[in-house]
């Protein structure tokens, strides 16, 4: 019976890579994308590429014959025989980038075992980069161990800031953005939650703030685990566990995270 985190991670990584390569093929095609509006937040869209990627991943999960549940951004909850294993998947994270032909998007698959995130795979097909993380086994980029940066001060940090909704700890996201600019002008909003978290996990950025009213499990489960296993610190905006998937995500190296949380608490 396949229920060990390492085994589940292999399925997640293989599925993310297969789906990602299909996304890249469609991205490079001259065929026009089918784009539809969604209503979860202003400007949200879904494309035929999202649906095709999801189809590939769901097919692999079903062929594995693992009794589980799927929580996907596009289809929602799918009962595959058990709630003990949950696949949290975003078949195309960064859909707006994708639709605008901006090459910054990914496939994200997190795995929860009895409610606890234990594995995650995020694949960037444009750069052929596979990020993986497994509980208590570290995180890797294309098989090599990764670690968050050692930056100790916000003033020396390069940060990612993005927001979707206001929430109790961050009632005015733009004010928080202004406060961050007071510390560093090196602030970016690349447009993919999953890749943003991986960019911090690999030390390319020093910290990330993503403001959600409720952190979407399919967008954050894999990335938060990968960042944490890369020796980073991840919490919600109240300083509580990110595993509750409530409110915003604050993450970075321990010192940067501490300062980000302090900044939010002073809003």
Going from N- to C-terminal start, the domains of the chain cover 5-143, 154-265
pLDDT for residue 185: 84
Give the span between the Cα atoms of 232 and 206, in whole angstroms: 10
- Supply the DSSP string of 215-241, one letter for each residue: --HHHHHHHHHHHHHTT-EEEETTSSB
Residues 129, 141 contacting (CB under 8 angstroms): yes
| Cβ proximity of 167 and 265 under 8 Å | no
Calpha distance 151→130 (Å, rounded): 24
pLDDT in tens, 22-57: 999 999 997 888 888 876 666 688 999 999 999 999
**pLDDT for position 42:** 66
Q: Could you tell me the CATH superfamily of domain 5-143?
A: Fructose-1,6-Bisphosphatase, subunit A, domain 1 (3.30.540.10)
Spans in the chain with pLDDT lower than 70? 1-2, 39-43
**Per-residue tokens: 13:** 């990584």
What is the per-residue pLDDT for 1? 52
Q: Determine the Cα–Cα distance for residues 108 and 42; give it in Å rounded to an integer.
A: 22
Question: What token pair was written down for 174?
Answer: 């733009």
Question: 154-265 maps to which CATH number?
Answer: 3.40.190.80
State residue 39's pLDDT score. Answer: 64
pTM: predicted TM-score of the whole model, two decimal places? 0.96
């Amino acid at each position: 019976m396949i229920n060990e985190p390492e085994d589940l991670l292999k399925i997640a990584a293989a599925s993310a890579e297969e789906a990602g390569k299909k996304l890249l093929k469609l991205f490079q095609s001259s065929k026009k994308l089918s784009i539809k509006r969604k209503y979860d937040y202003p400007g949200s869209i879904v494309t035929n590429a999202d649906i095709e990627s999801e189809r590939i991943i769901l097919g692999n999960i079903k062929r594995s014959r693992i009794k589980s549940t799927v929580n996907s951004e596009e289809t929602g909850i799918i009962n595959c025989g058990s709630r003990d294993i949950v696949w949290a998947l975003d078949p195309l994270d960064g859909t707006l980038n994708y639709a605008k032909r901006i090459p910054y998007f990914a496939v994200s698959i997190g795995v929860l075992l009895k409610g606890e995130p234990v594995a995650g795979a995020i694949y960037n097909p444009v750069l052929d980069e596979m990020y993986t993380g497994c509980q208590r086994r570290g995180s890797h980029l294309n098989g090599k161990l990764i670690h968050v940066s050692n930056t100790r001060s916000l003033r020396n940090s390069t940060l990612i800031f993005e927001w979707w909704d206001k929430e109790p700890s961050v009632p005015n996201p733009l004010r928080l953005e202004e406060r961050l600019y007071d510390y560093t002008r090196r602030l970016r909003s690349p447009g993919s939650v999953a890749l943003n978290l991986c960019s911090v996990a690999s030390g390319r950025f020093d910290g990330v703030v993503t403001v959600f009213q409720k952190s979407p499990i399919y967008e954050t489960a894999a990335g938060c685990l990968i960042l944490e296993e890369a020796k980073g610190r991840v919490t919600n905006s109240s300083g509580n566990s990110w595993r509750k998937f409530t409110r915003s995500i604050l993450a970075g190296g321990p010192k940067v995270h501490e300062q980000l949380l302090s900044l939010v608490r002073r809003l």
